[in-house]
């Protein structure tokens, strides 16, 4: 009785206790140390896939008589109906059901399925499209018309339905029916593309008058500039110039103050230009320039200027336009004289006019507005006024004396004790070189080094003297460069490179020695590399080895060890290299390999004893050693290195938040287990096991 009272009809007359899902109790993990062999998720998935049984598929069934066919159809229909009862809202189920009925040539049933699907969701236009496609594909034209009529009545805002309906009628040759459909569609005032499709339809059948009447309705429903321009171009294409002009005039009356009015006026003027009515076009341009705001008339200005250059008095029109723009720029620079962008635009305007006096006057007024604060960021835009000024005087005005004066004035204006611009110094010097005045250029560059030394100035000055062949001057400049910036590795390397190019090997070596003895260097690795490459190119292998040893005293970086080993592997005596004896060549290779192995052994010993935490570098070192051994072929011993290669392990470590000190997630990292570490690990495990057993025996005795 108690069971009957507690049972629930919704649960199939079972009690709630009987329907509870019993989950297994979570097991407590006692040993949380990572296992010696880590298993990745990839391995688990691979094993699961390998052990997965093959999918059991039903055998293919061949239907031999009408009875079997009837059974098959009954079964499939039952499956579809059951599926529909479960997921009535799923469109794909209805589509599959209808297509299956169609494949069985039972069109009445397929039509019934489509109708039932539309009862579920008639707002889905894709169902209507597929339904109509089914009717058309099977040549049920009247049924298809019925579907299209219902679809367009229920969903008149879906353009695709109208396009498909019209396309069907046109393919059937029913032009009058297609026109009626278009008229029904136009009552819903579609977008521009719908009207244009109607117009193209009429033009395909040479119904120009009908197209014109549609255009009239089109511009009434869509009073936009693009619509009126299309109407006018249509009339122009049909040779109706008076009608086209009338279209443009009506458009100007209605849309003269519109935001897109500029496009309308340009099209109107170009139309008159094509009709050889230049005076009409000029009047349209002038009317437009007077009525459209200046900010929206840029394209109109360009077209007007191009028109006047082709047909009219260029100077008068351009002066009028330039006068208006000049007034705008004057207003802008009066409001904010430090607006250098406005000055640049103003100068560009005057340069386009070509009046030298006006251009120089604007330049002088612009450079007089010195930035108030002596900070470089405020001067970076201002200095380009000077740059443009000197380039104009030199290239356009071709006034050498005035260019020199502008350069001198610019260099006096810049506060060199705060900051300087190397670009101006170099431009002034290059200007003097172009005037074949080398001494003046040297004085400018010397002043630059004395007042505001910079890397660019030193490099360019040295490049100029080197092109002129003044080696002693180059040496003096390098000395000044290094006095100013003794930590600059680039300067030391280039100085030594210069001496080496002059076959001054001892000088170059002395320079490198001075460089590496500097207490501070910006890029010491580049300097050491240049020194080592220099000694290798001179075939001074003993000196190179000594250099590597000195470098290792300063840093034990992985790249240094690898570079040292590669050098030893390639350091062959020239005499032996030129020898034709194969045995001596083999012996030389063996010696190189032995020296390289010695370097690798030293590096490995250092990483093992002094830096055991750098496991990744140690592994990379062994990889390089292995590659080197394999590159020596028969001489190399690959097994020697393979025995020392580590095992790569992926470990999960709890990542803690430093602020809260709470474990929030696990991070994966790569660890390396070397052969010698494996033995010590095993010993530690045995020691821990022995200690545990001893404690257990003691507790049992108690």
Q: What is the mean pLDDT of residues 108-134?
A: 90
Considering the entire predicted model, what is its pTM? Answer: 0.47
Q: How many CA atoms lie within 13 A of 466 on its CB side?
A: 17
Residue 187 has pLDDT above 60, yes or no: yes
Instruction: Report whether 662 contacts 670 (CB < 8 A).
Output: no
Neighbour count for residue 530 (Cβ, 10 Å): 20
Cα gap 365→373, rounded to integer Å: 19
Give the whole-number percent of the chain exceeding pLDDT 90: 8
Q: What is the mean pLDDT of residues 475-479?
A: 83
Predicted pLDDT of residue 164: 92
Neighbour count for residue 165 (Cβ, 10 Å): 24
The residue with greater pLDDT, 201 or 351, is 201
Consecutive H or E run containing 137: helix 125-137
Predicted pLDDT of residue 9: 61
Name 382's Cβ contacts closer than 8 Å, sequence gap at least 6.
340, 367, 369, 370, 371
Q: By mean pLDDT, which of 117-121, 183-187, 483-487 is the weakest?
A: 483-487
DSSP annotation of 652? E
Cα gap 83→94, rounded to integer Å: 9
Q: What is the mean pLDDT of residues 284-309?
A: 75
Cα gap 664→659, rounded to integer Å: 12
Q: pLDDT-based confidence at 684, cuts 50/70/90? A: low
Predicted pLDDT of residue 1: 44
Cα gap 200→207, rounded to integer Å: 10
Which token pair is 469? 């062949």
Cα gap 60→79, rounded to integer Å: 18
CATH second-level architecture of 370-482? Alpha Horseshoe (1.25)
Name 240's Cβ contacts closer than 8 Å, sequence gap at least 6.
none
CA of residue 317 relative to chain centroid, distance: 46
Q: What is the mean pLDDT of residues 297-318?
A: 70
Q: Of the ranges 147-151, 405-409, 477-481, 650-654, which is most confident?
A: 147-151
Q: pLDDT-based confidence at 19, cuts 50/70/90? A: low
Cα gap 433→438, rounded to integer Å: 6
Consecutive H or E run containing 526: helix 524-537
For residue 81, what are the CA distances in angstroms to 73, 74, 90, 97, 127?
Answer: 12, 10, 13, 9, 18
Cα gap 547→530, rounded to integer Å: 11
Name 253's Cβ contacts closer than 8 Å, sequence gap at least 6.
none
Predicted pLDDT of residue 262: 84
Predicted pLDDT of residue 5: 57
Cα gap 169→584, rounded to integer Å: 94
Q: Delimit the domains of the chain by residue range.
A: 370-482, 556-571+584-698
Instruction: Report whether 430 contacts 441 (CB < 8 A).
Output: yes
Residue 162 has pLDDT above 90, yes or no: yes
Q: What is the mean pLDDT of residues 192-202?
A: 90
Cα gap 144→265, rounded to integer Å: 48
Beta bridge partners of 669: 651
Predicted pLDDT of residue 655: 62
Q: pLDDT-based confidence at 146, cuts 50/70/90? A: very high
Residue 232 has pLDDT above 50, yes or no: yes
Predicted pLDDT of residue 306: 75
Cα gap 365→360, rounded to integer Å: 9
Q: What is the pLDDT of residues 650-666, one digit of tens each?
A: 766 666 555 544 445 66
Beta bridge partners of 648: 672
CA angle 269, 270, 273 (to 5 degrees): 90
The residue with greater pLDDT, 131 or 669, is 131
CA angle 344, 347, 352 (to 5 degrees): 125
Neighbour count for residue 693 (Cβ, 10 Å): 10
Neighbour count for residue 45 (Cβ, 10 Å): 10
The residue with greater pLDDT, 419 or 201, is 201
Q: How many CA atoms lie within 13 A of 55 on its CB side?
A: 4
Cα gap 187→214, rounded to integer Å: 12
Q: pLDDT-based confidence at 694, cuts 50/70/90? A: confident
Predicted pLDDT of residue 689: 64
Please name which of 113, 103, 114 lies closest in space to residue 147, comparing C-alpha atoms: 114
Predicted pLDDT of residue 577: 44
What are residue 345's phi and psi, to 5 degrees? Answer: -65, -40
Cα gap 622→601, rounded to integer Å: 10
Helices H, strands E: what count in the chain?
37, 2
Please name which of 315, 322, 303, 419 lies closest in space to residue 362, comparing C-alpha atoms: 322
Q: What is the pLDDT of residues 56-75, one digit of tens each?
A: 777 777 877 888 888 888 88
Instruction: Report whether 333 contacts 342 (CB < 8 A).
Output: yes
Predicted pLDDT of residue 582: 57
Q: pLDDT-based confidence at 181, cuts 50/70/90? A: very high
Q: By mean pLDDT, which of 229-233, 322-326, 427-431, 615-619 is the weakest?
A: 322-326
Cα gap 639→645, rounded to integer Å: 10
Neighbour count for residue 485 (Cβ, 10 Å): 17
Q: What is the pLDDT of residues 497-530, one digit of tens each?
A: 777 787 777 887 887 778 777 777 778 778 777 8
Q: pLDDT-based confidence at 681, cuts 50/70/90? A: low
Predicted pLDDT of residue 149: 92
Please name which of 216, 212, 211, 150 lies closest in space to residue 184, comparing C-alpha atoms: 150
Q: How many CA atoms lie within 13 A of 260 on its CB side?
A: 12
Name 356's Cβ contacts closer than 8 Å, sequence gap at least 6.
397
Residue 575 has pLDDT above 70, yes or no: no
Q: What is the pLDDT of residues 97-108, one digit of tens each?
A: 999 888 888 889
For residue 100, what are the CA distances in angstroms to 61, 119, 663?
Answer: 17, 19, 58
Cα gap 289→654, rounded to integer Å: 73
What are residue 375's phi and psi, to 5 degrees? Answer: -125, 140
For residue 317, what are the CA distances in angstroms to 261, 268, 330, 354, 421?
Answer: 22, 20, 20, 16, 42
Residue 576 has pLDDT above 70, yes or no: no
What average pLDDT does the chain have? Answer: 80
Q: Is the dihedral of CA 538, 542, 548, 553 positive or negative?
A: negative
Residues composing the chain: 702
Beta bridge partners of 647: 673
Instruction: Report whether 269 contacts 285 (CB < 8 A).
Output: yes
Please name which of 220, 216, 301, 233 lies closest in space to residue 268, comparing C-alpha atoms: 233
Q: What is the mean pLDDT of residues 26-46?
A: 81
Please name which of 234, 322, 302 lies closest in space to residue 271, comparing C-alpha atoms: 234
Which token pair is 90? 């799923």
Which token pair is 272? 């008159």
Residue 280 has pLDDT above 80, yes or no: yes
Q: What is the mean pLDDT of residues 250-270?
A: 85
């Amino acid at each position: 009785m108690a069971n009957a009272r507690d049972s629930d009809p919704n649960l199939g007359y079972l009690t709630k206790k009987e329907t509870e899902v019993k989950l297994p109790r979570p097991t407590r993990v006692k040993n949380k140390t990572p296992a010696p062999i880590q298993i990745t998720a990839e391995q688990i998935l691979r094993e699961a896939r390998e052990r997965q049984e093959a999918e059991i598929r039903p055998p293919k069934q061949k239907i031999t008589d009408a009875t079997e066919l009837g059974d098959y159809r009954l079964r499939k229909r039952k499956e579809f109906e059951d599926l529909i009862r479960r997921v009535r809202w799923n469109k794909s189920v209805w589509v599959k059901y209808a297509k299956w009925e169609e494949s069985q040539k039972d069109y009445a049933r397929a039509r019934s399925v489509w109708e039932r699907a539309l009862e579920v969701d008639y707002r889905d236009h894709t169902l209507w499209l597929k339904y109509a496609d089914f009717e058309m594909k099977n040549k049920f034209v009247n049924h298809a018309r019925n579907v299209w009529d219902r679809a367009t009545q229920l969903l008149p805002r879906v353009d695709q339905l109208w396009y498909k309906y019209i396309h069907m009628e046109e393919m059937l040759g029913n032009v009058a029916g297609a026109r009626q459909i278009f008229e029904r569609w136009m009552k819903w005032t579609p977008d521009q593309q719908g009207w244009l499709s109607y117009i193209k339809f009429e033009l395909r059948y040479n119904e120009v008058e009908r197209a014109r009447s549609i255009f009239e309705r089109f511009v009434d429903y869509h009073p936009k500039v693009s619509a009126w321009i299309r109407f006018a171009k249509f009339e122009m294409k049909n040779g109706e110039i008076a009608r086209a002009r009338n279209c443009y005039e009506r458009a100007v009356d209605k849309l003269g103050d519109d935001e897109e009015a500029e496009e309308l006026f340009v099209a109107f003027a170009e139309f008159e230009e094509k009709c050889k009515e230049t005076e009409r076009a000029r009047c349209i341009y002038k009317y437009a320039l007077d009525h459209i705001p200046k900010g929206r008339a840029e394209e109109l200005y360009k077209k007007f200027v191009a028109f006047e250059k082709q047909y009219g008095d260029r100077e008068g029109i351009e002066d009028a336009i330039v006068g208006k723009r000049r007034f705008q720029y004057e207003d802008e620079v009066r409001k904010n004289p430090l607006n250098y962008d406005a000055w640049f635009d103003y100068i560009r305007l005057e340069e386009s006019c070509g009046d030298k006096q006006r251009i120089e006057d604007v330049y002088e007024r612009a450079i007089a507005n010195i930035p108030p604060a002596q900070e470089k960021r405020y001067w970076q835009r201002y200095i380009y006024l000077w740059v443009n000024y000197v380039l104009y005087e030199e290239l356009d005005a071709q006034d050498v004396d005035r260019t020199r004066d502008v350069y001198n004035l610019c260099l006096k204006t810049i506060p060199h004790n705060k900051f300087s611009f190397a670009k101006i110094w170099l431009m002034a010097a290059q200007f003097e070189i172009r005037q074949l005045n080398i001494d003046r250029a040297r004085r400018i560059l010397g002043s630059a080094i004395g007042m505001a030394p910079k890397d660019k100035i030193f490099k360019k000055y040295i490049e100029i003297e080197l092109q002129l062949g003044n080696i002693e001057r180059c040496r003096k400049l390098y000395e000044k460069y290094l006095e100013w910036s003794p930590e600059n590795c680039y300067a030391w390397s280039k100085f030594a490179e210069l001496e080496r190019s002059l076959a001054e090997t001892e000088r170059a070596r002395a320079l490198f020695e001075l460089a590496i003895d500097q207490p501070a260097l910006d890029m010491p690795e580049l300097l050491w590399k240049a020194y080592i490459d220099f000694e290798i190119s001179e075939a001074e292998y003993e000196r190179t080895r000594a250099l590597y040893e000195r470098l290792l005293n300063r840093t034990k970086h992985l790249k240094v060890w690898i570079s040292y080993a590669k050098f030893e592997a390639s350091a062959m005596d020239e005499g032996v290299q030129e020898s034709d004896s194969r045995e001596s060549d083999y012996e030389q290779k063996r010696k190189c390999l032995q020296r390289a192995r010695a370097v690798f052994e030293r590096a490995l010993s250092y990483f093992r004893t002094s830096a055991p935490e750098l496991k990744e570098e140690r592994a990379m070192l062994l990889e390089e050693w292995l590659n080197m051994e394999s590159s020596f072929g028969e001489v190399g011993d690959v097994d020697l290195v393979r025995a020392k290669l580590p095992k790569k392990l992926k470990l999960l470590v709890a990542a803690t938040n430093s602020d809260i000190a709470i474990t929030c997630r696990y991070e994966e990292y790569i660890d390396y287990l070397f052969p010698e570490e494996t033995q010590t690990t095993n010993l530690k495990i045995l020691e821990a096991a022995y200690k545990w057993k001893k404690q257990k025996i003691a507790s049992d005795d108690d």
